[in-house]
Structure 1
């Protein structure tokens, strides 16, 4: 099986070697083998890191991701994934609503055109006091 030195792995996945060592220390990555005193990982770790990063983008914490990765494959892992995903969906829905409000506020500021925070009616009107 092809082995990747930590530097090569870091370049492939766009991360710093220190982040990979951290992921290893908290159990997200399997312990690296050593070759001439340097960490080397199986090439399959690239796919695992892609999964970790996807889960992070979806809002999962590193602890939640570790629990998912520690689960045995099969029905137990599927049930665990479903339970975590069902708990995560309301958090993601809230994040989407809050982000949309922020986006709308930025768009309103651009549409206002005054670009002066001291005199902007959007910042001093009733909506600003809420």
Structure 2
């Protein structure tokens, strides 16, 4: 079986070797073997790290990922993954909704055009509509 040194593995997956050592210390990676005193990992570790990175992007905590990876296929790792994924979907939906709200706020600021943070009605404590109609702050050349 092909072995990868920690530096080679880190380059392949776009991570720092220190992150790989950390993942090993918290149980996300099995203990590395040693060759000439240096850490070496089976080539299959690339796939495991791809799963870890995907799960992190999806919002799973390292503890959740470790639980998933510790699952034994014979004891229902697929069921465990399904349960974790189903519980994560509502959280992801909330994140998407909140991100869309932020995106709309940035787009509204761009559309306002006043470019004056001190006078912009969109940024006032009272919120949009607090200023009179058409009073959205000073035009950009007055800022």
Coarse TM-score class (shorter-chain normalised): over 0.9
| SS of residue paired to 2:81 | helix
TM-score (ref. length: structure 1)? 0.93
Relative to structure 1, the CA distance from residue 40 to residue 109 in structure 2 (aligned partners, 3 Å threshold; closer, same or farther) is same
TM-score (ref. length: structure 2)? 0.85
Q: Which residue of 1 aligns with 2:80?
A: 80
Residues 99-122 of structure 1 show CA distances to partners (whole Å, capped at 9, x for unaligned) of 000000011111111121101111
Alignment of 1:60-71 (within 5 A): 60-71=60-71
Q: Which stretches of structure 1, 4 residues or longer, exceed 6 Å deviation after superposition?
A: none
User: How much does 1:126 deviate?
Assistant: 3.7
The structure with more helix, counted as a fraction of residues: 1
Mapped partners of 2:107, 2:74: distance in 1: 46
| SS of residue paired to 2:127 | helix
User: How much does 1:74 deviate?
Assistant: 4.4
Q: Which residue of 2 aligns with 1:90?
A: 90
Higher relative contact order (CA closer than 8 Å, sequence separation 6+): 1
Q: CA RMSD in A?
A: 1.3
User: How much does 1:125 deviate?
Assistant: 6.5
User: How much does 1:36 deviate?
Assistant: 0.8
| SS of residue paired to 1:15 | coil
| SS of residue paired to 1:127 | coil
| Structure 1 residues not aligned, in runs of 5+ | none
Mapped partners of 2:59, 2:107: distance in 1: 25
| Structure 2 residues not aligned, in runs of 5+ | 129-143
